[in-house]
């Protein structure tokens, strides 16, 4: 199981200069790679007051150019907001810069204002997502999108919280980027319907954990940032309620407790990847630095030890 860090690059109240926000994130990513983290994932939203990352593949390219080993993923790029050919070209560039380390996560999106801003069809977003996956892979295969990616094939994921998205992931042969036992059935149904081996199912996603040596002390300092993140999804559009409930409540815990939580949540599921938010916007640097250190150096080792301990023989 690969352990990763998840970046949305929020900056409430623009408290820090934007170049510093991005430079600090890239510095921590480099340190996390040296300490042993397996993957870095980026996110996408538009129009947030705190500057939520709007260009996940652009930032993924910066990560790719500054790292040597970690997988570089999008969780997710909102497929209906970008033409499939542009998606294929941008993703290929990231794969080239990383020498074949891209994990391309695509989603349907859920915030109506983001679609309205670019004239995209909100109601048709799931159909657009499924079409985009096929188009991107076809553009790579037939040479329409140049230059080509290094990997053949590039690992593709679908970020989905419900059965419709899980079936799309299955039909297209993609991984399911959401950890939920209730979605495994629809996902495998989709794999079978698409002519794929149901045994090839792979899942991954966010485990909303923040690591600290003293969770009780850290929790008090983290609470205001957690409230900000949840409140930022509020609004009058129909997607707001879905967004505020999208992620499980943040848990602050030690590395050992985190390994236990992850083992419990992934038991019996074909999970290959888990990741934690690298930062909860506005946190003090000492909290973020220690969290990143514990995730990168502690979680992979603890999870591997658990795996070894339960291996046959």
pLDDT attached to residue 242:
56
Of 295, 286, 288, 220, nearest in space to 255 by CA: 295
DSSP string, 53-90: -S-HHHHHHHHHHH-SSSEEEES-EEGGGS-HHHHHHH
Token digits for 55? Answer: 């260009």
The class (CATH top level) of 2-309 is alpha beta
Helix/strand/coil for 27:
helix
Quote the CA–CA distance of 117 and 224 in Å, as a whole number.
30
* Whether pTM exceeds 0.75: yes
Helix/strand/coil for 107:
strand
Burial class of residue 280, CB neighbours in 10 A (0-12, 13-18, 19+): buried
The Cβ of residue 33 has, within 10 Å, a number of other Cβ atoms equal to 20
pLDDT attached to residue 229:
85
Q: How does pLDDT run along the chain (313 residues), one tens digit per residue? A: 999 999 999 999 877 999 999 999 999 999 999 999 999 999 999 999 999 999 999 999 999 999 999 999 999 999 999 999 999 999 999 999 999 999 999 999 999 999 999 999 999 999 999 999 999 999 999 999 999 999 999 999 999 999 999 999 999 999 999 999 999 999 999 999 999 999 999 999 999 999 999 999 999 999 988 888 888 876 545 555 555 555 668 999 999 999 999 999 999 999 999 999 999 988 999 999 999 999 999 898 898 887 655 544 4
pLDDT attached to residue 236:
46
pLDDT attached to residue 112:
97
pLDDT attached to residue 237:
53
pLDDT attached to residue 311:
47
Quote the CA–CA distance of 191 and 201 in Å, as a whole number.
8
pLDDT attached to residue 232:
83
Quote the CA–CA distance of 206 and 177 in Å, as a whole number.
8
Of 255, 250, 262, nearest in space to 293 by CA: 255
Token digits for 266? Answer: 């992934």
pLDDT attached to residue 300:
87
pLDDT attached to residue 233:
77
Domain ranges for the chain: 2-309
């Amino acid at each position: 199981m690969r352990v990763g860090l998840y970046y949305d690059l929020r900056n409430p109240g623009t408290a820090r200069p934007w170049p510093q926000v991005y430079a600090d994130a890239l510095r921590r990513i480099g340190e996390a790679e040296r300490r042993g983290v397996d993957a870095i994932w980026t996110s996408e939203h538009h129009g947030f007051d705190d500057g939520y990352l709007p260009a996940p593949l652009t930032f993924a390219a910066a990560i790719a150019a500054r790292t040597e080993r970690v997988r570089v993923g999008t969780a997710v790029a909102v497929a209906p907001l970008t033409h499939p050919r542009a998606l294929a070209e941008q993703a290929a560039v990231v794969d080239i810069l990383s020498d074949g380390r891209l994990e391309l996560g695509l989603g349907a999106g859920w915030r109506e204002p983001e679609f309205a801003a670019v004239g995209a069809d909100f109601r048709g977003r799931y159909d657009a997502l499924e079409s985009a996956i096929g188009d991107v892979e076809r553009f790579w295969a037939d040479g329409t999108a140049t230059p080509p990616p290094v990997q053949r094939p590039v690992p593709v994921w679908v970020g989905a919280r419900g059965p419709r998205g899980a079936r799309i992931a299955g039909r297209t042969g993609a991984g399911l980027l959401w950890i939920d036992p209730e979605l495994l059935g629809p996902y495998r149904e989709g794999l079978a319907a698409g002519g794929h081996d149901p045994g090839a199912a792979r899942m991954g996603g966010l485990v909303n954990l923040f690591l600290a040596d003293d969770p009780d002390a850290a929790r008090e300092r983290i609470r205001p940032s957690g409230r900000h993140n949840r409140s930022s999804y509020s609004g009058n559009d129909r997607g707001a309620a879905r967004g505020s409930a999208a992620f499980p409540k943040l848990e602050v815990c030690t590395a050992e407790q985190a390994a236990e939580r992850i083992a419990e949540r992934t038991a019996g599921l074909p999970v290959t990847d888990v990741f934690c938010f690298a930062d909860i916007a506005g946190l003090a640097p000492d909290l973020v630095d220690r969290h990143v250190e514990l995730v990168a150096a502690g979680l992979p080792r603890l999870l591997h030890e658990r795996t070894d301990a339960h291996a046959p023989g």
